[in-house]
Amino acid sequence: MLKKLSKIFRKSTPVVSNEPHIIKDGQHPLSPKQISAGARKVVEQLSSDGYEAFLVGGCVRDLMLGLKPKDFDVATDATPEQVNQLFKRSRIIGRRFQIVHVRMGPEIIEVTTFRAHHTDKKSSGNDSRRSSKGLLLRDNIFGSINEDASRRDFTMNALYYHPQDNSIYDYADGLPDIEQRLIHIIGNPADRYREDPVRMLRAVRFAAKLGFQIEDNTEAAITKVHQLLADIPSARLFDEVLKLLMHGHALSTFRLLRQYQLFGILFPATEAALANDPGYYLTFVEQALTNTDIRIRGDKRVTPAFLFAALLWPALKEQEKVFSQGDASPIYALHQAAGEVTTRQCQRVAIPRRFTLPMREIWELQLRLPRRAGSQAFRLMENKRFRAGYDFLLLREDAGEIESGLGDWWTQFQDADEDKRQTMADSVQQPKSKRRRKRRKPPAKNPVHD
Ligand code: ATP
Ligand code: MG
């Protein structure tokens, strides 16, 4: 079907035209039944009130590819306030980019008002703001559907679907690009990245997720402007990093991010450590990402704390070297290094405390897991991070950081009955601890003044 569709098109440049290519009922594989009930209702309600409304973005793209959409987004010419008035259970969210969340039963549908370009005339007022580098600080200038199409990131994301007449409206030649499996930015690539550098991360995410190529010009501009990503607020980068790593293609995403020098902007200390790889850093990180992908594809839970613990492990190991000098104890070096690595990382990607605290516990368990004599092993198993710490240990063994053996011991210990556990714990030789760091002499209680 896609092959046939491409014959309808002649243009190959991603310029938005005023007249869309309309692919009518029967000429494409989509059907309204594939749209969630909530999204259909939102479109119907908006249309019956006289507004234009379409399904747009990832859901149309994914359905054309035969994939299950992650969510259904609606675009309309109704303003956020009008949408908010029309739907009882809705609220306006966001400042930089206002949208409306409409609740329909168990679903939340994102409704976005058509956006326009920021010409000087339209941009006066406080709903549009740009930084001196061209970054869009606010993007709330509303416009027509074709203006909206030109404001979207990639051609494949600028397809509008009308479930009522079962037609697709393609303003930017997105369908031929989908057919050629190309990620093609709309408009001038460097300008579009300058407006919003997160688009570079989105290009990588879609390339990894869909197995698409990034079109040459879209790709070349990344090399020129990749540094602009550092200007994005750390809280937004945290959201984007989660999206990059939690969609089941984290390994290929990581490789592409490194290829386009974006990884070093997101994780500067890890990228620097990878340059000093003692032989296992890269294997370790890639193995952690592979395991994450397997878990996500198997619908198993993945905790971001574990993921960040793994991604920052090379940075931690390098930083530990700095604090292990002299007679510092390993636990002292670990704590100091963990503090330093976490603080610096959060300046770039704001990982919330609910993830950094367990992440640091997973790291600390790496020092505690070898100390399992007597009752220690039993106590360790009670620790709420035990399972994550144990998985992390197995990863380190697999990557060749440490000799295997300890992981096996813990596997057997978990499988054993109480008696066997006791025998195992009794026969462990406690590893010798490194000399403690000298404590500073406490100040004299009654200092003598002369
Ligand atoms: P998925 O939901 O599968 O991750 P998506 O393409 O739907 O992919 P969303 O983040 O849900 O991604 O965004 C919905 C649509 O909004 C996109 O398809 C695109 O048209 C537009 N969009 C999102 N982010 C940007 C951006 N930074 N710049 C321009 N357009 C964007
Ligand atoms: Mg989406």
> Domain boundaries in the chain?
2-180, 264-426
User: CA 161 to CA 53: how far, in whole Å?
Assistant: 9
User: CA 432 to CA 125: how far, in whole Å?
Assistant: 68
User: CA 179 to CA 381: how far, in whole Å?
Assistant: 52
The tokens for 254 are: 């990581």
**What CATH number should be reported for the domain whose range is 264-426?**
1.10.3090.10
Ligand 1 and 110: CB distance under 6 A: no
CA of residue 258 relative to chain centroid, distance: 15
pLDDT score at 95: 81
Q: Which residue has the tokens 């200390």?
A: 269
Q: What residue owns the CA closest to ligand 1's atom 18? A: 57
Q: Which residue has the tokens 């997101």?
A: 266
Whether 11 has a pLDDT exceeding 50, the answer reads: no
Ligand 1 and 219: CB distance under 6 A: no
Which amino acid appears at position 332 of this protein?
Y
| pLDDT (tens digit per residue) in 217-234 | 999 999 999 999 999 999
How is residue 15 annotated by DSSP?
Answer: -
Is residue 388 within 8 A of residue 305, CB to CB? The reply is yes
The tokens for 100 are: 């409306």
Ligand 1 and 73: CB distance under 6 A: yes
| pLDDT (tens digit per residue) in 138-189 | 777 899 999 999 999 999 999 999 999 999 999 999 999 999 999 999 999 9
Total length of the chain:
450
Ligand 1 and 174: CB distance under 6 A: no
Whether 269 has a pLDDT exceeding 80, the answer reads: yes
The tokens for 30 are: 């989509």
Is residue 175 within 8 A of residue 21, CB to CB? The reply is yes
- Residue 239: active-site member: no
- Whether the model pTM is above 0.85: yes
Residues contacting residue 440 through CB under 8 Å, at least 6 positions apart: none
Pocket test for ligand 1, best of 202, 206, 229 (most atoms within 8 A of CB): 202
Ligand 1 and 196: CB distance under 6 A: yes
The tokens for 98 are: 């206002």
Point out the catalytic residue in the list 62, 77, 148, 153: 153
- Residue 327: active-site member: no
- Residue 153: active-site member: yes
Q: Which residues surround the ion ligand 2 when the cut-off is CB under 5 Å?
A: 58, 71
Point out the catalytic residue in the list 73, 139, 148, 170: 73
**Ligand 1: which atom is nearest the Cα of residue 195?**
28
CATH topology of domain 2-180: Beta Polymerase; domain 2 (3.30.460)
